[in-house]
A and B are shown apart, each in its own frame.
Chain A
Amino acid sequence: MKIILSISAKPSKLMAYFIWIWAAKQDSEDIPVEMINNKGSVSVEPGDYFIYWELYGSPGGFLACEVKKPDGKVVVAIKEPKIKDGKSFYALVKTFKA
């Protein structure tokens, strides 16, 4: 049974960002998350997953992001990560259960 995860993001001082999800099990396929107006959704089987954010922009730029299950439960949330001084890139990977 698949579940639909909804992803919402709020970028600040970013030129671009990209999000991928993939299952933690062996030989899993990448699930690129197409975000339109900072919202996206993916259909996944329950299990352990990685989510990966890639941010491009100015120092201090960040992306607040939440991944929710259909019942509204937040499975992943990031608020703090920021692009550091002297850089234009920040990437973060995080594990979660869907």
Chain B
Amino acid sequence: MNRIESVFAGFLIIFFCVNSPASLAQADTDTCVSAQQVQSMIDAMRKQILEEVRAGASGTARDATVQTTMSTDAHENATTPFSEDSPKKAATAGDLYVAKLRDSVDESSVGTPEGAGGGAQSEFQLTATTDSTRASLRRDFSKSDPVARNFTVRSFVASAPIDKKSSSGANLATLDGLANGFEVSFNFDRLKVTTPDNANSGRELVKDCAALGISVSNDGDDCSSDDVIEAAQKAGNSEIRDRWMSKGRIVSRGYQIKIGRDDFSYYADDDLSKKQTSRVPWSIGGRLGTLGTNWYIGADVALQHTFKPAPSETACLIRDLDVVTECVSGSLAPPKGEKRYLVGVEGRRSFEHAAVGVRIQRDVKNGKWSAELPIFLFRDGDKVFNGGVRFAWTTTDKFIAGLFVGVPFKYGK
């Protein structure tokens, strides 16, 4: 874009934003920044165009005329909208002139309420995420059955974002259409130990502790698997070390039902009045996973019915065929429903000085992908990994790299 085109692009933006500075305070827009800024831009551009014309850039003058005409030649009274003398009159529906400046809806944030779209740009982010970005109430009902070696958890979770525009740390690149609004979910998970010895391994631990010289005979004595591994390592007893190193295998399976509520705002396309509405997205899904000695691999599927805001546009009311009385930026239609068939796989692994995860998700219905790779490098006060760097990609967001804090590393869900 050359200098002249830049000038006219600026004109177009200003045309749709500036004529009613008072209305900007109400306009839900990031295009029209503030009345003062826009006014100063107008002054600068006026000055620049005058300079161009005076310098003999006839093309510039013509273009400027054509552009102005495009905005006004449909009107009998060709009062330029930049006229400071333009009367500001009440708008009527019949005077609406809609101009689409740009689509700024982030397709990946479908269901994102109230214009939280981010645009499909590669970017670098600094994400400071804590649990406080999403308030939740959780009630677990668990059962530990040592005989069957089953651990069952049923949970009810109600959660809502505190800051709807904030990110969710290590779980940003998701195709989950319920990730950004209020939701209530029921989860069922059953985990089963898969190590061959279904009996009490405690007796084995007592025996191994004694064999390695760790006393467990007096009241209050204790001995852990880590003690045994360390002592066996020192003693060169690979049999005992390997026995306790190889423990920790379980498989999990579960399902989840979620119902949400998303609030949306949009502008009525007849009079640009702001409307509020809400929708109830839902999701049902299942998952499988296996925990190894220091890793986790899982897969999940979900069927979702979600809602996404209509594309963001900028529209202006024009009164009496010449005067722009109000401009708004945002959705000009109610949210639309959308089905999603989600399939995801993920892996997580912890090391002594770091932990990593990778997750790939596919929306089979809509042909979208997402992938993310969080690398946990920093620890909290309890020495648990909870921060690091994160790389993510979605079909619509493209590539994102960033830092995150306050998201503890964990295997599985």
Cβ 8 A contact of B248, one of A19, A20, A32, A87: A87
Interface string of A1-29 (1 = CB under 8 A from B): 00000000000010111111010000000
Q: Contact: A95 with B248, CB < 8 Å? A: no
Q: Could you mark each residue 131-153 of chain B with 1 if its beta carbon is under 8 Å from any beta carbon of chain A, else 0? A: 00000000011111111010100
* Alpha-carbon distance between A97 and B221 when the two chains are bound, in angstroms: 11
Contacts A20-B146, A50-B202 given; does A60 touch B384 at CB 8 Å: yes
Contacts of B222 in A (CB 8 A): 78, 92-95
CA gap between A59 and B353 in the complex, in Å: 11
Q: When the two chains form their complex, are residues B202 and A93 in contact, meaning their CB atoms are under 8 A apart?
A: yes
A4 to B216 alpha-carbon distance, docked (Å): 24
B294 at the binding interface (Cβ < 8 Å): yes
Q: What's the nearest-Cβ distance from chain B to residue A51, in Å?
A: 8
Q: Mark B194-209, 1 if CB is under 8 A from A, else 0.
A: 0000011111011001
Q: What is the predominant secondary structure among interface residues of chain A facing chain B?
A: strand
| Given A36-B143, A89-B247, A90-B225, CB of A58 within 8 Å of CB of B201 | no
Is A48 in the interface zone, CB < 8 Å from B?
A: yes
**A86 partner, pick from B147, B206, B294, B382, beta carbons under 8 A:** B294
Tell me, rounded to whole Å, the shortest Cβ–Cβ distance linking B319 to chain A.
Answer: 61
Beyond A15-B151, A22-B203, A50-B202, 20 additional contacts (C-beta under 8 Å) are A13-B408, A13-B410, A16-B191, A20-B200, A20-B202, A36-B144, A37-B140, A54-B201, A56-B193, A56-B248, A57-B410, A84-B226, A85-B351, A85-B353, A86-B294, A88-B291, A88-B295, A91-B201, A91-B224, A93-B202
